[in-house]
Chains A and B, each alone.
Chain A
Amino acid sequence: MSKQILSPLPGTFYRRPSPDKPAFKEVGDSVAVGDVIGLIEVMKSFNEVQADQAGTITGFPADDEEPVMAGQPLVDLG
Chain B
Amino acid sequence: MAIRKLLIANRGEIAVRIIRAAKELGIRTVQVYSMADADSLAVKLADEAVPIGPPAAAKSYLKIDTILEAARLTGADAVHPGYGFLAENADFADAVVAAGMIWVGPKGDAIRVMGDKVAARIAAERAGVPVVPGSDGRVDDPDQARAIALAIGFPVMIKAAAGGGGRGIRIAHDMEEFERLMPQASAEAKAAFGDGGLYLEKVIERARHIEVQILGDGKRAVHCFERECSLQRRRQKVWEEAPSAALPQALREKLCASAVSLAESVGYLGAGTLEYLYDDQSGQFYFIEMNTRIQVEHPVTEMVTGLDLVREMIRVAGGEPLRMRQDQIVLRGHAIEVRINAEDPARNFQPGPGTITALTVPGGAGVRFDTMLYQGYTVPPFYDSLLGKLIVWDEDRPAAIARMARALEELTVEGLPTTKPLHQLLARDSDVRAADFHTRWLEPWLERNAHQLGTEETTE
Question: A residues engaging B (CB < 8 A)?
Answer: 9-12, 41-45, 65, 67
How many chain B residues touch the partner (CB < 8 A)?
Answer: 16
- List 16 additional contacts besides A44-B383, A65-B56, A67-B54; criterion CB under 8 Å: A10-B353, A10-B380, A11-B382, A12-B382, A41-B381, A42-B352, A43-B342, A43-B343, A43-B351, A43-B353, A44-B384, A44-B385, A45-B350, A45-B351, A67-B36, A67-B382
The 9 closest A-B pairs by CB, nearest first: A43-B351, A11-B381, A43-B385, A10-B381, A42-B381, A67-B55, A45-B351, A42-B351, A44-B384
| Listed A/B pairs (18) with beta-carbon separation below 8 Å | A9-B381, A10-B380, A11-B353, A11-B382, A12-B382, A41-B381, A42-B351, A42-B352, A42-B381, A43-B343, A43-B353, A43-B381, A43-B384, A44-B384, A67-B36, A67-B54, A67-B55, A67-B382
Main secondary structure of the interface of B (DSSP, over half): loop
Question: Which residue of A10, A12, A45 is within 8 Å of B56 (Cβ)?
Answer: A12
Is the Cβ of B353 less than 8 Å from the Cβ of A42?
yes
Is the Cβ of A12 less than 8 Å from the Cβ of B55?
yes
Give bound CA distance, A11 to B381, whole Å.
Answer: 5
Question: B residues engaging A (CB < 8 A)?
Answer: 36, 54-56, 342-343, 350-353, 380-385
Give bound CA distance, A12 to B54, whole Å.
Answer: 11
Main secondary structure of the interface of A (DSSP, over half): strand
A49 to chain B, nearest CB (A): 14
Cβ contacts under 8 Å, B353 to chain A: 10-11, 42-43
Cβ contacts under 8 Å, B55 to chain A: 12, 67
A21 to chain B, nearest CB (A): 14
Give bound CA distance, A42 to B56, whole Å.
Answer: 12
Cβ contacts under 8 Å, A45 to chain B: 350-351
Cβ contacts under 8 Å, B380 to chain A: 10
B238 to chain A, nearest CB (A): 16
Cβ contacts under 8 Å, B351 to chain A: 42-45
Give bound CA distance, A9 to B343, whole Å.
Answer: 14
Cβ contacts under 8 Å, A42 to chain B: 351-353, 381
Specify the chain A residue showing the minimal Cβ separation from B386. Answer: A43
B141 to chain A, nearest CB (A): 30
Cβ contacts under 8 Å, B385 to chain A: 43-44
B109 to chain A, nearest CB (A): 30
Is the Cβ of B56 less than 8 Å from the Cβ of A67?
yes
A28 to chain B, nearest CB (A): 28
B261 to chain A, nearest CB (A): 36
Cβ contacts under 8 Å, A9 to chain B: 381
Give bound CA distance, A44 to B12, whole Å.
Answer: 15
Specify the chain B residue showing the minimal Cβ separation from A11. Answer: B381
Specify the chain A residue showing the minimal Cβ separation from B36. Answer: A67
Give bound CA distance, A52 to B277, whole Å.
Answer: 48
Give bound CA distance, A9 to B380, whole Å.
Answer: 12
Give bound CA distance, A36 to B445, whole Å.
Answer: 33
B11 to chain A, nearest CB (A): 13
Specify the chain B residue showing the minimal Cβ separation from A68. Answer: B381
Specify the chain A residue showing the minimal Cβ separation from B191. Answer: A20
Give bound CA distance, A45 to B385, whole Å.
Answer: 10
B156 to chain A, nearest CB (A): 29
Cβ contacts under 8 Å, A12 to chain B: 55-56, 381-382
Interface centre among A42, A43, A45 (most CB of B within 10 A): A43
Specify the chain B residue showing the minimal Cβ separation from A40. Answer: B381
B233 to chain A, nearest CB (A): 13
Cβ contacts under 8 Å, A65 to chain B: 56
Specify the chain B residue showing the minimal Cβ separation from A65. Answer: B56
Give bound CA distance, A44 to B57, whole Å.
Answer: 11
Give bound CA distance, A9 to B350, whole Å.
Answer: 12
